Chain A
Amino acid sequence: MADGVNRQAGTSGGASGLSYWLKVLLPGILLAVLVAFPATHPSPDTLKLLFITAVWTTTSLAWNLLGGVAGQVSFGFAVFYGLGAYTTGLLMHAGWSPYLGFFAGGVVAAIGSFVVGVPTFRLRGPYFVIATIGVTEAVRVIMNNLDITGGSSGYRILEDRAFDPREHYYTALAAVTLAVVISSVIARSRFGLALRAIKQDEDAAADLGVNPYFSKLKVHAIAAALVGIAGGIYARRAAFFYPGDVFAFQTGISILLMPVIGGIGTVWGAVLGGVIFGVVQEQLDARFPNIHLLLYGGLLMLIILFEPDGLLGLMRRAARLLRRKREYPGSKNPDEVLWGRGGVAGRKL
């Protein structure tokens, strides 16, 4: 598994035969296994865990697009999650198909992203970050007082058909696949290159013809849409949600934590982080309800101080140690294998 992840994440062009096939085949096999999985009649708990993990991983990939690729830290993704949840809920109540509801949730979240992005992205400095801290708070108090959504007592979705865990599972799987595809396409596109340039040096990027303002707005909207869709999918399964849950600051922290754990700036790092967080989080919260913030905060500090590239960085380090023993000097730089031609030098944090 570890080796597979390593190989896929790298070589953005001119890949050798083996790694090319791994890059295309492995995600395909993984997807096929996940699609076939419900046929083995897993327990409802397992299916629920996979569902939650897929939803979290979608948000993790979305955060990574903005935070990892473009270098804009946001603490406010809970807003988009909540917007997606409420949009889906309200539209389903109005008789829309849930799938149209998810889509609309994504659109509403993308529109919402401009409220944060337009005033802050034009300016250099920490304006965006601080605005994202404030916006969660602001939206939550508004939602707490809004009558049509039931205010702070929450909103309930009523569906007049039988609860089908498989359908929920497949929608979440579709969302995470969409997120992976979008992330991979952006990573290989001119747009992705522009975003990485902005992360490294905004002025230099602007000199080379990138418009930082529009690029940041665009990627923020894409990320917000993905989170909105994830929020809608979550809301439909949960069937009940309230502002203190979907709009919680805590939700924003969780979304940010996943790509950081897995490895900021890489598609498979975000996936890895999402999967680990999805599987571990509920157990962790249940077993250590009093110290989970301590664990998250401590983990965040340790990662930043000792291994800013997260678990993928750790794996790369291990791989380098192993490789050093058997390969001749002058072999392909392991950084390049993982991060593409820019190498690790291009990953200023």
Chain B
Amino acid sequence: MSLVQGLNLLVASLLLAGIYAAMAVGMTVIYGVMKIVNLAHAGFLMMGAYFAYELFERFHIDPILGAVLALPAFFLMGIAVHWLLIRWLPKSDTPTLASLLLMFGFWLVLQNIGYIFWGNDDLAINTPRTLRAVSMGPISVPEVSLIVFIAAVICLLVLQLLFERSWFGRSMRALIQNPYAAQIVGVDDQRTSRLTFGLGTAFAGFAGALLAMIYPFSPEFGRNFLLRAFVIIVLGGLESITGVALGALVLALVETFSIVVVPASYQPAISYAVLVLVLLIMPKGIAGLLEKKWRTA
């Protein structure tokens, strides 16, 4: 591998990390606040992809704008799903059988809705910019990837601000750290859960629309990303958006550079191998590893 090749791969993995972070962050906040593994996240990603596709095909709305429009649309959808399904679930510190099966059932329904409306062929969004590339010296990147990366990073920064500065963000963090103490000091558990679920879903739709600009998609779209999202959560922890970004970067680096040694068709096996390795070596993620180093030093 030459230096230029290596640099190109490095840039590619950085760009990939941006979209991965946007994809995982929705699942992270929902898991953190409600301790629900949102298996329907994959379904929302898929729906986001078709949302951008339909807007583009019917109204010629640029998919980037489509992704931004997906935010409010999927936020409302998330609120509705919470009202219909989630709020009936018993509360628990760990994911319950009921919550897993419920969200899984919902994911199946979403998939089937996808099949009914769009069939099971792979679709893609083709804009004039799809095939264009941006070159900076020896490094060249697809223009779409760059735009997607910028959009993802902007959204993550906004989310980070919301998380750190607003009362809603503060309630979310309180619920993540200690749900009982949070309620004692007056955090409205139900309301925060509802908004969090809306937020997580909004990000799923947003990320789905962004992913649709890069990858082809079908109603099964999202299943592979579900595992990736979880690897990122395990790597980065639940405490911060920064953790998610860090986890996404590590996964993107591993995936991109593994192409040099492993054929691309083995990609799902690679995410799984990363998950197993991480769980075996550092079950507390990157933060846990750093903490350990800190203590022994």
Residues of A with Cβ closer than 8 Å to B?
A: 67, 71, 73, 75, 115, 118-120, 122-127, 129-131, 133-135, 137-142, 144-145, 249, 253, 256, 260, 264, 290-294, 296-301, 303-305, 308, 349
Judge whether B101 and A260 touch: CB under 8 Å. Answer: yes
A-B contact pairs, 27 of them (CB 8 A): A75-B104, A119-B275, A122-B283, A126-B94, A126-B100, A127-B279, A130-B226, A133-B223, A134-B268, A144-B265, A249-B223, A256-B101, A264-B97, A290-B116, A291-B112, A293-B115, A294-B108, A294-B113, A297-B104, A298-B109, A301-B102, A301-B105, A304-B101, A305-B85, A308-B98, A349-B97, A349-B98
- With A and B bound together, what is the CA distance between A115 and B85 in angstroms? 34
Interface residues of B in 244-297 (CB under 8 A from A): 263, 265-269, 271-273, 275-276, 279-280, 283
Given contacts A125-B94, A129-B37, A301-B109, contact A120 B101 (CB under 8 A): no
Classify the interface of chain A: helix, strand, loop or mixed. helix
- CB <8 Å contact, B224 and A137: yes
Q: Is the CB of A73 within 8 A of B100?
A: yes
Q: Is B98's CB under 8 angstroms from A138's CB?
A: no
Contact A142 to B269, CB < 8 A, known contacts A71-B97, A129-B37, A297-B105: yes
Is there a chain A Cβ closer than 8 Å to B59's Cβ?
Answer: no
Q: Which of B96, B106, B266, B279 has the most CB of A within 10 A?
A: B279
Q: How far is the CA of A305 from the CA of B102 in the complex (A)?
A: 8
The residue among A294, A304, A308 with the most chain B CB atoms within 10 A of its own CB is A304
Q: Which of A67, A126, A142 contacts B37 (CB 8 A)?
A: A126
Known: A293-B115, A304-B105. 8 other contacts (CB 8 A): A119-B276, A122-B283, A130-B37, A131-B272, A141-B268, A293-B108, A297-B109, A308-B98
B107 within 8 Å of A (CB atoms): yes
Other-chain contact of A305, B39, B88, B276 (Cβ < 8 Å): B88
How many Å lie between the Cα of A118 and that of B265 in the bound state?
26
List A contacts of B107 (CB < 8 A): 297
Q: Is B210 an interface residue (CB 8 A)?
A: no
User: Quick one: closest B residue to A265, CB to CB?
Assistant: B97
Residues from chain A with Cβ under 8 Å of B168 in the complex: none
Convert B74-107 into 0s and 1s, putting 1 for each residue whose CB lies closer than 8 angstroms to a CB of A.
0000000000010010100011111011101111
- Is B234 in contact with A127, judged by CB distance below 8 angstroms? yes
Chain A residues, CB < 8 A from B266 = 141-142, 145
Compute how far the CA of A293 lies from the CA of B102 in the bound complex, rounded to whole angstroms.
14
B residues in contact with A349, CB < 8 Å: 90, 96-98
